[in-house]
Chain A
Amino acid sequence: MKAFRYHRPADVAEAVALLDAEPAAAYLAGGTNLVDLMKLGVQRPELLVDVTGLPLDTVEVLPGGGLRIGATVRNSDLAADPVIRREHPLLSRALLAGASGQLRNLATTAGNLLQRTRCVYFQDTGKACNKREPGTGCAARHGQNRDLAILGWSELCVATHPSDLAVALVALDAVVEAHDPGGAREIPVAELHRTPGEHPERETSLPRGALITAVRVPPLPFARRCTYLKARDRASFAFAVGSVAAALDLDGDTVRDVRLAYGAVAHRPWRAYRAEEALRGRPFTAELAAQAADAELAAARPLPHNGFKVPLIRNLTVRALTTLAGTAPR
């Protein structure tokens, strides 16, 4: 690991100023991903700015029923929060589907959103990776790409975003609050992560040095009718091979409204707008759910080893929605 200096800023302004002043500085929160990447030599910060002492660790119920989740709220505290469990169970479900008890006790809300891909080529400094080192090529494109993207990838990068929480937040229209040297800003979580395009090294739309301070979740009347389905290679403590976050609002058997997002299929959590559009206003059936998934997945371009993800996501979509509609085959 490269040597680094360590500082605990007194407030958000000092933290942002430190990052602004030092190009090789990085924010440290739970550290469950960053410390590991530092051991692997993938990240080599020269100054760590530890933000866990900042007063960003509360969950606040907003007037009107929305939530403001502090950036440093630990994943375990957020998943167990009584209001989250009752009013926004999709967040608890997504969080509890990820990592292990020990990791959730450390990992934070913003850290979870900003975690890096688990593409094995990104994590191996002996392999070509345009994300880690722009211009070196992508060893994954023609390598072992079973776990990687089917949507929105480019020839330069086929990595996926590994977060479960981010998929739920995208489905719920959450908004990130951030501070950077230019002041405060807000970004919908759906626009926080980028597709790789020509610049896979740019993973988010945040300006350099920005510090996420909170995530705001707007009220959603049917948020309790939700599910998070995660397919993975073992029963627990594994990243998704594919996941679906869904919330459904039926008027009789007509789809009044729906939220649908996919995980582990792209460089960002994938909001399934086309599928939602295909569902809204129509009488719900399992066939409609399948057609909606097909509408979203028409844009899929599977890699040589991950063609199975297309029917996987289709089947997860049907299972999630039919379960929520109470029409799942028994």
Chain B
Amino acid sequence: MRESAKPTEDGWSSTVTLTVNGTGHNLTLDNRTTLLDALRERLALTGSKKGCDHGQCGSCTVLLDGRRVKSCLILAVTLDGRTVVTVEGLADPTGLSPLQAAFVAHDAFQCGYCTPGQLCSARGMLDEVARGWPSAVTGDLTAPVELTDAEVRERMSGNLCRCAAYPNIVAAIRDAAAAR
């Protein structure tokens, strides 16, 4: 069994240990605090965005133990001992990651508000493809996945872009996938 957050004396708050972008944090939080609010309001990591706050827009997407998730729907109290990577942790030590560079090269945004979520989601999605996970548009569930435009669009459907930069987002992700 995993570790469990330590409740404060009144029981309404808890102390949680979290690793975020490689740095350990010990936080005492009201149990109602979402991961998104903990990142933004307590750790000043404002890259992850609060769009809808209901799990529908994807702009709060981060990687939890390597998997893409919506941080607005996760209570931080549940994450004692877990590892989070946000958009601030995506870059390589020497500069932009290939995925980030592909977003720049393809102009895969206009206003940029959804971009941190798009990047974290794309990183997690490409790992899912590497593990051979099928999607709703995969024809043969037992065959290797071929990352077509239709596959990228389906797999990225949890990330909305109100500027509709979708064609360039798809192109950037396919470029980054090809370079892997």
Contact = CB atoms under 8 A, between A and B. Distances in A.
B154 interface: yes
Given A5-B7, A80-B133, A86-B142, A101 B74 contact: no
A40 to B, nearest CB: 8
Contacts of A7: 4
B155 interface: yes
B134 A80 contact: yes
Interface string B1-29: 11011010001101000000000000000
B128 interface: yes
Interface stretch (B61-69, B88-96, B103-111): B61-69
B32 A3 contact: yes
Classify the interface of chain A: helix, strand, loop or mixed: mixed
Interface string B135-161: 110100110000000000111111100
A79 B54 contact: no
B70 interface: yes
B121 A102 contact: yes
Contacts of A76: 67, 128, 133
B70 A85 contact: no
Interface residues of A, number: 41
B140 to A, nearest CB: 9
Interface in A1-54: 1, 3-8, 10, 28, 31-32, 35-36, 38-39, 48, 50, 52-54
B34 A35 contact: yes
Interface string A74-100: 001001101001100100110011011
A1 B135 CA distance: 34
Nearest to B131: A80
Sorting the interface of chain B by its residue count into under 10, 10 to 19, 20 to 34 or 35 or more gives: 35 or more
A105 interface: yes
Given A5-B7, A105-B124, 4 more contacts: A6-B14, A85-B142, A101-B124, A102-B68
Interface in B55-89: 55, 58, 61, 64, 67-70, 73-75, 77-78
Classify the interface of chain B: helix, strand, loop or mixed: loop
A106 interface: yes
Nearest to B136: A96
A86 B142 CA distance: 7
Interface in B112-135: 121, 124-125, 128, 131-135
A247 B141 CA distance: 16
A54 B4 CA distance: 12
B175 interface: no
Interface in A94-117: 96-97, 99-103, 105-106
Given A5-B11, A53-B4, A85 B134 contact: yes
A136 interface: no
A89 B53 CA distance: 33
Contacts of B134: 79-80, 85, 92, 96
B158 A101 contact: yes
A308 interface: no
Contacts of B75: 6, 28, 31, 35, 48
B168 interface: no
Nearest to A1: B32
Contacts of B4: 7-8, 53
B152 to A, nearest CB: 11
